[in-house]
Amino acid sequence: MDVFSLFLYCVVYPGLARKSGYRSRLLIIAEILSYINETGETRKTRILYASNLNTRSLMKFLEYLKDIGAVNERVDDEGNLWYSLTLKGRRLLEMINAVYEYLESTDPLSNGYLEKAVRAVRDKWGDRVLSVYTTRITGKSQMDYQVEVLHGGKNDYAVVFMSRRSYHNRSVCIGLLLLLDTELKAVIFVEDPVMKSIVEDLLTSSNISSERFVIIE
């Protein structure tokens, strides 16, 4: 089974795993990779305790990860098995985390967020939203951004969701880059007052004018 097949097999059914009370295969693999990544190199027995699996199940996962080149296995002089991540293993962990981030993320233009964004554009900039669409925008650096846009009578406004729960704060980084690299104004959604303060500090320290954004909790 290749990495793509792993994602098809594990990601399509995560809801069934959660409903039945069991972890999905994808989650178990993520936990194993995360523990090895955190320790640098670790013995099989420590992975066993951290993953909460029995020895037979753990070895099936480790053998699979070895077969696809995600982990290295080393035997010391006393016969103990040690495991470390390969470059492919670290990349696989990033991909899995990105999948979970996407599945659990909040869409700024659903669940009432669109109404809030339209109202913010009206109150902040005195503009009326005429349409909503997704587009690709090229910044001054020639980097491309996939953006949800509110098209107004005066300007276009990006909709950004910044969350500290996102893997490596990716949403915050992308949102900040978007404002630095383009002339777009933005409606920024955050999850709580703490995140609002963090984002305000980031934008202020980056010399982004408060006239270019509005933050909504």
| pLDDT for the residue 97 | 77
Name, in order, each residue with C-beta under 8 angstroms of 25's C-beta and a sequence gap of 6 or more.
6, 9, 10, 17
pLDDT in tens, 197-212: 888 888 888 889 999 9
CA distances to 110, 133, 216 from 126, in Å:
23, 20, 17
| pLDDT for the residue 168 | 42
- DSSP H or E segment with residue 150: strand 144-152
Same domain, 61 and 142: no
Q: Which residue has the higher pLDDT, 170 or 83?
A: 83
pLDDT in tens, 63-108: 888 888 889 999 888 888 899 999 988 888 888 777 666 555 555 5
| pLDDT for the residue 205 | 87
Domain extent at residue 56: 3-104
C-alpha 71/C-alpha 41 separation (Å) is 10
Only one residue has tokens 């909504």, namely 216
Same domain, 99 and 137: no
Name, in order, each residue with C-beta under 8 angstroms of 90's C-beta and a sequence gap of 6 or more.
37
| pLDDT for the residue 22 | 45
Q: Return the bridge partners of 137, or none.
A: 145
Report, as an integer, the average pLDDT of 137-149.
Answer: 85
Any idea what the CATH number is for the domain that residue 81 is in? 1.10.10.10
Q: What angle do CA 104, 31, 21 make, to 5 degrees?
A: 65
Q: Quick one: 27 exposed, middle or buried, by C-beta within 10 A (0-12, 13-18, 19+)?
A: middle
Report, as an integer, the average pLDDT of 20-26.
Answer: 58
Does pLDDT of 3 surpass 70?
no
| pLDDT for the residue 124 | 93
In this structure, the chain runs to a length of 217
C-alpha 1/C-alpha 99 separation (Å) is 19
Domain boundary among 74, 104, 134: 104
Same domain, 201 and 155: yes
| pLDDT for the residue 186 | 92
| pLDDT for the residue 141 | 84
Longest distance between any two alpha carbons in the chain, whole Å: 73
Domain boundary among 81, 104, 127: 104
Domain boundary among 79, 104, 129: 104
**Reported pTM:** 0.53
Number of domains in the chain: 2
Same domain, 98 and 43: yes
C-alpha 196/C-alpha 215 separation (Å) is 7
Same domain, 76 and 155: no
